[in-house]
Chains A and B, each alone.
Chain A
Amino acid sequence: MGKGARDQSARERIKAQREAERKQDQRRRIATIATVGIVGLAAVGAGWWYAASRSTPETIAQSLAPITVTSDGTAVMAKPGVDRPVIDIFEDFQCPACKQLEETSGSTLKNLAAEGKAKVVFHPVTIFPEQMNRGITRANSVRAGAAMRCVSDGQQWLALHDKLFKEQPSEQAEGFKVDDIVAWGEAAGVTASGFAECVTSQKEAKAHLDYGATIKIQGTPTVRLNGKDLDNRVAFNPQALREAVINAGG
């Protein structure tokens, strides 16, 4: 073999070796990228699952604590003799965040009351101003709030309360029509005499708005524990809410 040929083959060997190294490097790089990528995706999946499990509402484990409708239009849910801690819920039937609160933490409130660990007071109010959506949103809210004052039995009150949140219309369109509310009330077992007439005439609208005017809140929903505003991050987190209430009870 001549010198030129030897150089030639050496050069080729080096070239082949470099090629092999390059390929190996490439494989290693791809493996690392794939691993890191999978770890990242797994973390997102785990976080999603964590979030979903964190916001799972409690299931209602036992029959509800007695509910009393009071003369100012609020409803008190508590076992006899339980008057602390007090959880005040200020909510507007038309407010989407209030619906979210009901869906997330409503069952926790019911359970806490049933366990005798809290006294829950519902305050239906109307938060939406007249100038929003040409008054449509406010009118929806007032029809619902006024209708609640036509129910005198506590169990029936809460049943209609839950039903109204379930049927909450869009903020942009007319909803909570009086005929619908009457039908929902009857489906929820409301037996109060003159219920239909009371809802249809909206004769309680003024009392509902007057009550709301006496309430000083920053917005809806407002949840107060023993008179102090609860952070939404607690109110909207069933576990944190339960913890805060238990801690306030001692």
Chain B
Amino acid sequence: MSSPSRRVSSAIPWVSMVARLVLAGVLIVAGLLKIDTPALSVEAVRAYELLPVSLTPVVGYGLPVLEIVVGVFLAAGLLTRTAGVAGALLMFVFVVGIISAWARGLRIDCGCFGTGGVLEAWEEPNYLGTILRDIGLVALGVWVAWFPPGKFALDSALGLTSSRDKDDDEDLDKDEETV
């Protein structure tokens, strides 16, 4: 019984797992590189010139830990769908921020990995590369939210997979047998 569609659907959980781990890795690394120097993180947020200055510390302090927590949830496959949505949203916000900085002619570095967002005089911004990378990460987040939780997820161990996913395979079959 290895019809092509079967094989494709059995590959989905593996793809979800890989998507989770890649997105989680990027988020955790980005968060860890920033969390020890909140002032630089605040400066990176400020460099986008999108938020009122009074709000930049709130976001600058919160962003690194938010990235780490979402990353840990994704890696563990915990509340996978929510974490996938959160990861995709985070990346989407970054894409919007970078496009807007580019459109306004700002010369900044994305500040993604704790460099403070300000380019040195000789550096050239790499907006396109950053946007493409982050769009790819948005796509991973959407995939994870669409096909949670993937292999080796705590959600499965804790029985947290939403009833819909479960009904699709196990419960329905059982119901048909017993009723």
Which B residues fall within an 8 A CB radius of A? Answer: 35-43, 46-47, 57, 60-62, 64-66, 68-69, 73, 78-79, 82, 107, 114-116, 118, 120-121, 158-160, 163, 178
Q: Which residues of A contact B47 (CB under 8 A)?
A: 96
Contact A100 B121 (CB under 8 A): no
Known: A36-B79, A240-B37. 7 other contacts (CB 8 A): A14-B178, A32-B160, A48-B61, A51-B60, A97-B116, A100-B46, A232-B40
Q: Which residues of B contact A46 (CB under 8 A)?
A: 65
Q: Which residues of A contact B46 (CB under 8 A)?
A: 96, 100
The residue on A at minimum CB distance from B171 is A22
B158 to chain A, nearest CB (A): 6
A63 to chain B, nearest CB (A): 26
Q: Which residues of A contact B37 (CB under 8 A)?
A: 55, 232-233, 236-237, 240
Contact A104 B35 (CB under 8 A): no
Scoring B38, B65, B79, B159 by chain A CB atoms within 10 A of each residue's CB, the highest score goes to B38
Which A residues fall within an 8 A CB radius of B? Answer: 14, 25-26, 28-29, 32-33, 36-37, 40, 43-44, 46-48, 50-52, 54-55, 95-97, 100-101, 103-105, 127-129, 132, 218-219, 232-233, 236-237, 240
The residue on B at minimum CB distance from A37 is B79
Contact B79 A33 (CB under 8 A): yes
Contact B57 A104 (CB under 8 A): no
5 contacts between A and B (CB under 8 A): A28-B159, A32-B160, A51-B61, A55-B42, A100-B116
Contact A237 B39 (CB under 8 A): yes
Known: A33-B79, A96-B46. Is A236-B39 also a contact (CB below 8 A)?
yes
